[in-house]
């Protein structure tokens, strides 16, 4: 007996109903991006490893899926290297490509390669899958879609403001209550500076970013493990546990970071973003959260993260400002800022809260029953007019028993069934049955179109 097929851990199949839901998510996000003047691009699923490596920190590099070279990938590798069993070194020898980890680094590569064709500031969005060799768990997958929007070639903080408006608009359209958390890497750099650990900024941000997941005690243990002094850890506590209103937090930070030039710059940037958004009438809460660190090395300014308020799940959107990402590809001085919606997590949230609109998940609107050759030919003429009016319609392909055809309509949640027998053909009409109420009425093709369009 053949072995039952399976799929890799951390990946999923999606049924037609699930795909309808996913398309609702993508289309909603796409529509909002268009409202703000963003244009769509796509990049390849795989990139050169030289493009990807070193952009996500040590932890990110470990999560890259590497693609084995085709052909004789052992050529050029000595027996000594093979026997050393050094996985990282061997991978660098016979893997030149990798699956993309996110959409931001490929976008930076795209900007550098296409700089002569681009008008700056360049506002692009991208809706494509990414891959991470992570441990699969609830809400965390190895293959998942990101829906990114980035602006490059502009230092203006109005870009940050508009991106937060996009986040607010998207989640308002979904009906998901969220908290939009913002922070600034300059504030974190200032904190590292005043506690005397400026050179340990990456270690501090990586540890702080885990506060929600592992708790304060474990964060402190990790900081100590990274060589940060007890005195510095003690100074860090009141800062990362700061509470109060956004204005109160800003006022405290102005005092705490008064001697740090970079820290004060981050405070001023955050204050501008918060004050401007306050006048925009956001529907969702926005919070200055100093524990937000976003553990990616390329962020240099404002950073964002979005949490759903009614479902226990990780971040469902994130992003931030990066001033020097294109510099590693030989194009310095291009600032960028972007956000990324985690479509798969949003999918799970909408499922748990049952927030999908009926019209978003329903497919076929009317099924024509097939009684035989003549009836099918008559139905096909009607179908031409109905589909031309934009109504999703189908005919059962076989002249099967009525019960089977009705079961098919029920299984696919088709709300109406059109029944055409000899009497209906003589009158040039169809019997339209409402599958929910059981009500039936004889209608012309024009009346059927009007009924279904309602």
- In this structure, what CATH number is given to the domain that contains residue 106? 3.30.930.10
Decide if 137 is inside a domain.
yes
Domain range enclosing 136: 16-176+310-353
Reduced to 3 states (helix: H, G, I; strand: E, B; else coil), residue 435 is coil
Q: Which of 350, 351, 287, 298 is nearest to 329 (CA)?
A: 298
- Co-location of 337 and 387 in the same domain: no
Decide if 138 is inside a domain.
yes
- Co-location of 68 and 101 in the same domain: yes
The first and second tokens of residue 441, run together, are: 């009425």
pTM of this structure: 0.85
First-to-last CA distance in the chain? 52
- Co-location of 22 and 145 in the same domain: yes
Count: domains in the chain: 2
Decide if 237 is inside a domain.
no
- Co-location of 330 and 366 in the same domain: no
**Are 356 and 21 spatial neighbours (Cβ–Cβ below 8 Å)?**
yes
> Is residue 299 a known part of a binding site?
yes
Decide if 249 is inside a domain.
no
pLDDT of amino acid 79? 64
Distance, in Å, from the CA atom of 349 to the CA atom of 267, rounded to the nearest integer, reads 33
The enclosing domain of 408 has a CATH number of 3.40.50.800
- Co-location of 102 and 129 in the same domain: yes
- Co-location of 45 and 77 in the same domain: yes
Reduced to 3 states (helix: H, G, I; strand: E, B; else coil), residue 233 is helix
> Is residue 294 a known part of a binding site?
yes
Task: Please report where in the chains the tokens 């851990």 appear, as a residue.
Answer: 9
> Is residue 104 a known part of a binding site?
yes
- Co-location of 94 and 160 in the same domain: yes
> Is residue 146 a known part of a binding site?
yes
The domain boundary, picked from 286, 320, 353, lies at 353
Residue 140 per-residue DSSP state: B
- Co-location of 30 and 154 in the same domain: yes
- Co-location of 152 and 36 in the same domain: yes
The H-assigned helical ranges of 114-245 are 158-174, 185-194, 201-208, 211-225, 230-240
Count other Cβ atoms within 10 Å, centred on residue 361: 16
Distance, in Å, from the CA atom of 324 to the CA atom of 351, rounded to the nearest integer, reads 38
- Co-location of 338 and 448 in the same domain: no
- Co-location of 322 and 432 in the same domain: no
**Are 341 and 315 spatial neighbours (Cβ–Cβ below 8 Å)?**
no
> Is residue 132 a known part of a binding site?
yes
Decide if 393 is inside a domain.
yes
Decide if 113 is inside a domain.
yes
Decide if 264 is inside a domain.
no
- Co-location of 317 and 381 in the same domain: no
The domain boundary, picked from 353, 388, 406, lies at 353
Distance, in Å, from the CA atom of 306 to the CA atom of 226, rounded to the nearest integer, reads 28
Q: Cβ-count burial of 191 within 10 angstroms (0-12 exposed, 13-18 middle, 19+ buried)?
A: buried
**Are 237 and 219 spatial neighbours (Cβ–Cβ below 8 Å)?**
no
Query: For strand 122-131 and strand 97-99, is the pairing parallel, antiparallel, or unpaired?
Result: unpaired
Positions in the chain whose pLDDT score sits under 50 = none
Q: Cβ-count burial of 154 within 10 angstroms (0-12 exposed, 13-18 middle, 19+ buried)?
A: middle
pLDDT of amino acid 95? 81
């Amino acid at each position: 007996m053949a072995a039952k097929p399976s799929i890799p851990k951390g990946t999923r199949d999606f049924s037609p109903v699930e795909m309808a839901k996913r398309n609702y998510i993508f289309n909603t996000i796409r529509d909002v991006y268009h409202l703000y003047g963003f244009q769509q691009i796509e990049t390849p699923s795989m990139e050169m490893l030289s493009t990807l490596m070193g952009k996500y920190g040590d932890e990110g590099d470990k999560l890259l899926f590497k693609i084995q070279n085709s052909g004789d990938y052992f050529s050029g590798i000595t027996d000594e290297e093979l026997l050393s069993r050094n996985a990282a070194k061997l991978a660098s020898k016979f893997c030149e490509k990798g699956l993309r980890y996110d959409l931001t680094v490929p976008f930076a590569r795209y900007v550098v390669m296409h700089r002569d064709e681009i008008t700056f500031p360049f506002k692009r969005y991208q809706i494509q899958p990414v891959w991470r060799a992570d441990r699969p768990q609830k809400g965390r997958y190895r293959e998942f879609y990101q829906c990114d929007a980035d602006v490059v070639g502009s230092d203006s903080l109005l870009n940050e403001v508009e991106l937060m408006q996009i986040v607010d608009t998207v989640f308002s359209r979904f009906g998901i209550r969220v908290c939009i958390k913002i922070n600034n890497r300059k504030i974190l750099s200032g904190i590292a500076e005043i506690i005397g650990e400026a050179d340990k900024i990456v270690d501090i941000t990586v540890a702080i970013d885990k506060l929600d997941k592992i708790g304060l005690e474990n964060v402190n243990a990790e900081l100590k493990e990274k060589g940060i002094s007890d005195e510095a850890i003690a100074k860090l506590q009141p800062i990362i546990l700061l509470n109060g209103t956004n204005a109160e937090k800003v006022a405290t930070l102005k005092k705490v970071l008064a001697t740090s030039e970079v820290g004060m710059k981050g405070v001023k940037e955050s204050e501008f973003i918060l004050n401007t958004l306050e006048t925009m009438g956001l529907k969702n809460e926005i919070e200055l959260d100093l524990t937000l660190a976003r553990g990616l090395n390329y962020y240099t300014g404002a950073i964002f993260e979005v949490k759903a308020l009614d479902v226990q799940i990780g971040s469902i959107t994130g992003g931030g400002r990066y001033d020097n990402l294109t510099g590693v590809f030989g194009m310095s001085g291009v600032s960028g800022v972007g956000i990324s919606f985690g479509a798969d997590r949003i999918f799970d949230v909408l499922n748990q809260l049952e927030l999908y609109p009926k019209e978003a998940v329903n497919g076929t609107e009317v099924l024509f029953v097939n009684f035989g050759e003549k009836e099918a030919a008559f139905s096909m003429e009607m179908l031409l007019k109905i589909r031309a009016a934009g109504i999703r319609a189908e005919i059962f392909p076989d002249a099967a028993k009525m019960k089977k055809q009705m079961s098919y309509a029920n299984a696919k949640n088709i709300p109406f069934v059109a029944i055409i027998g000899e009497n209906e053909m003589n009158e040039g009409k169809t019997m339209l049955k409402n599958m929910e109420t059981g009500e039936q009425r004889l209608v012309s093709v024009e009346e059927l179109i009007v009924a279904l369009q309602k």
